[in-house]
């Protein structure tokens, strides 16, 4: 299993293909497995790197606290160790937050980035959002990862023909380390680089599912504050666009990359 020592942990990664460097960063509670279809496609024309973020998959799972800046430092350290920069970076959900943090903290490592169903902050301004976050923590703490996976699986893959995806999602999520997951969840709350969007100069594509947790209008608002950002909406998709609409996601990323190279 390929791993790189970064700071105090070993990070798992997979490297395939040849060509321009393309990094995929997964979301909370996930792993590089979420990108299987994207890797299969892009490794035919790019040098593709996927990682397991601290506390996830086959990477080490030290006790917290974790933070988005810490995840970004981990990722930057791995990229430097592998001499995998400047790279095109694709981040989904929490992975998108990590990409945003890297764009302001390590801009020299990013040539362009794609943000999927994510944003430059997670600051709860409404009671119902704080309550939903609290409930997720309580479900995991008292009922475990499998129960949380079942709840999310029904929400994210509700259609009858999505049952295979739902089963795979539940199986993968159930394997999460509870302590590492909760530390990662806490890392998201209150994080923000929204006041530094004007500093991001790399070309950026923001992809929003039409049925994501936050509506396309949320992404439109922050895209308007960025110098070189554009946006695409993917229809008939929820938060897990890499899984429920992989081909459309691939098409959007490919079109963006073709604009840059």
Question: Which CATH class, in words, describes the domain spanning 3-124+192-260?
Answer: alpha beta
Name the average pLDDT for the chain: 96
Contact 7, 69 (CB under 8 A): no
Task: Tell me whether residue 52 is exposed, middle or buried, using C-beta atoms within 10 angstroms of its C-beta: 0 to 12, 13 to 18, 19 or more.
Answer: buried
- Give CA–CA dist 70/138, Å, rounded: 24
Dihedral sign computed on CA atoms, order 35, 37, 39, 41? negative
What residues does each domain of the chain span?
3-124+192-260
Determine the Cα angle at 175 with ends 248 and 32, to 5°: 35
Residue 1, pLDDT > 80, answer no
Q: How far is C-alpha 179 from the chain's CA centre? A: 19
pLDDT of residue 200: 97
Ranges 37-41, 70-74, 148-152: which has the least confidence: 148-152
Residue 151, pLDDT > 80, answer yes
Tens-place pLDDT, residues 194-233: 999 999 999 999 999 999 999 999 999 999 999 999 999 9
Q: Take residue 80 and report the two structure tokens written for it.
A: 């430097």
Helix (H) or strand (E) holding 114: strand 110-116
Q: Take residue 123 and report the two structure tokens written for it.
A: 């600051």
Residue 149, pLDDT > 90, answer yes
Report the candidate in 101, 107, 59 with the shortest Cα–Cα distance to residue 85. Answer: 107
* CA end-to-end span of the chain: 32
For the entire predicted model, the pTM comes to: 0.97
By residue count, the chain amounts to 261
Tens-place pLDDT, residues 47-81: 999 999 999 999 999 998 999 999 999 999 999 99
pLDDT of residue 261: 77
Q: Take residue 206 and report the two structure tokens written for it.
A: 């923001």
pLDDT of residue 139: 87
| 187 pLDDT tier (thresholds 50, 70, 90) | very high
Tens-place pLDDT, residues 103-130: 999 999 999 999 999 999 998 878 777 8
Q: Which residues contact 258 (CB under 8 A, 6 or more apart)?
A: none
Contact 185, 137 (CB under 8 A): yes
């Amino acid at each position: 299993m390929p791993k790189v020592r970064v700071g105090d942990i070993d990070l798992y990664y997979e490297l395939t293909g040849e060509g321009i460097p393309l990094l995929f960063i997964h979301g909370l509670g996930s792993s590089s497995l979420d990108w299987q279809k994207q890797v299969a496609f892009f490794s035919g024309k790019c040098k593709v790197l996927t990682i397991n973020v601290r506390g996830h998959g086959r990477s080490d799972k030290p006790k917290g606290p974790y933070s988005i800046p810490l995840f970004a430092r981990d990722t930057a350290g791995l990229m430097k160790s592998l001499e995998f920069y400047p790279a095109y970076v694709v981040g989904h959900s929490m992975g998108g937050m990590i990409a945003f943090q890297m764009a302001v903290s390590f801009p020299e490592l990013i040539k362009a980035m794609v943000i999927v169903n994510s944003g430059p902050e997670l600051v709860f301004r409404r009671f119902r959002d704080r309550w939903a976050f609290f409930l997720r923590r309580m479900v995991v703490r008292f009922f475990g990862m499998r129960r949380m996976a079942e709840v999310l699986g029904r929400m994210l893959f509700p259609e009858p023909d999505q049952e295979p995806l739902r089963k795979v999602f539940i199986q993968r999520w159930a394997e999460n380390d509870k302590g590492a997951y909760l530390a990662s969840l806490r890392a998201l709350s209150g994080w923000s680089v929204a006041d530094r969007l004007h500093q991001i100069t790399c070309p950026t594509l923001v992809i929003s599912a039409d049925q994501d947790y936050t509506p396309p209008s949320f992404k439109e608002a922050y895209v308007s504050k960025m110098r070189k950002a554009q946006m695409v909406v993917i229809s008939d998709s929820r938060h897990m666009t890499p899984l429920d609409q992989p081909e459309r996601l691939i098409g959007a990323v490919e079109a963006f990359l073709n604009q840059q190279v």
